[in-house]
Amino acid sequence: MRNVRVWDPFVRMFHWSLVILFAANAIWTNPEKLPHHVIGYAILALVVLRVLWGFAGPRHARFADFPPSPSAALDQVREIATGARRVHLGHSPLGALMIYNMLATLVVIAVSGYMMTTVTWFGIEWVEEVHKAAVTWAEISAVAHIAAVMLESRRLGVNLPRAMVTGTKKVHDPDHA
């Protein structure tokens, strides 16, 4: 087992702040009240900062380290199906697709949420439907993400949640790709 520094403090703070803020808006705040709107803007600010960090941050935070690749994701699905174990130091191909999915979905939620607060778009049904559909998709994605992290942690023998807290992965066989 080797300890490998993977997640920098910004990526970890972004991740857990996003978890807390999204949960707060989905569970505890009233969508028609100011705290819901402020949290939504905070989430959008986090996403903008994460996108910038994806170009300027350290290796595993950079988008170049985990490009969206459907073929690599299919390879990972084949590995899972055949029992092959390939540990990725940074994000796995399926994890990368989830990140891009969540970033885009959160932007749609924030933009449609903002539109609903304006005179021009207030009460327009399709804007509200887009917002609700994107929130539902984000919730489904979050559940899928948690399930995948748990399954991959078990399958690979790498405690992925711990790594997102400490920044360090304990790995047997790191992927140097």
pTM: 0.92
Q: Tell me: the pLDDT tens digits for 1-12?
A: 889 999 999 999
CATH topology of domain 2-175: Fumarate Reductase Cytochrome B subunit (1.20.950)
Q: Tell me: the pLDDT tens digits for 152-173?
A: 999 999 999 999 999 999 887 5
Question: What was the pLDDT predicted at 1?
Answer: 81
Helical spans, DSSP H, in 57-92:
70-82
Question: What was the pLDDT predicted at 171?
Answer: 86
Find tokens 């559909």 and name the residue: 133
Per-residue pLDDT at 19 exceeds 60:
yes
Per-residue pLDDT at 176 exceeds 70:
no
Domain boundaries, the chain: 2-175
